[in-house]
Amino acid sequence: MSKATQRTLAALKEQGALCGMVERFNQFGGPVIFKTINGKRMGKHTGVRQDLFGIIDIIALYPDRQKVCGIQSCGTAFSEHLKKIKESSYSPIWIKYADLELWGWRKLKSGWAPRIHRFTKVDWL
């Protein structure tokens, strides 16, 4: 679990949200690295992290909302994640039924702070 995801989970719990991780590590995914051992060519998968629908790391239930919220968390690569979510074919479908947020963490003089983008239908117009 990344530091950004840990910070997001801690902040959500402070707000009283119930949350769970839906990002998983797939040890059989990712590129294969080949090595020659005792004259035999052996391949090993490097593994890859997989988000739910490619866009969601955390599912949160906020106490004051009537919807489920899917959250993507990241460090300083906010614009890359924003682009990834906007280009996903799952995002516009997800926001019909649930909320969708991007939390990007950055270090300020006062400490770590999230930049939060709440997606709406306007993001796909």
* pLDDT tens digit sequence for 69-106: 999 999 999 999 999 999 999 999 999 999 999 999 99
pTM of the model: 0.84
Answer for the pair 71, 115: CB distance below 8 angstroms, yes or no.
Answer: no
Over residues 14-39, the pLDDT tens digits come to 999 999 999 888 888 778 888 787 87
- Architecture (CATH level 2) of domain 3-24+52-124: 3-Layer(aba) Sandwich (3.40)
> Hey, is 76 helix, strand or coil?
coil
Q: Say if residue 62's pLDDT is above 80.
A: yes
Answer for the pair 70, 94: CB distance below 8 angstroms, yes or no.
Answer: yes
Instruction: Break the chain into its structural domains and give their ranges.
Output: 3-24+52-124
Among candidate residues 94, 2, 98, the one with its CA nearest the CA of residue 57? 2
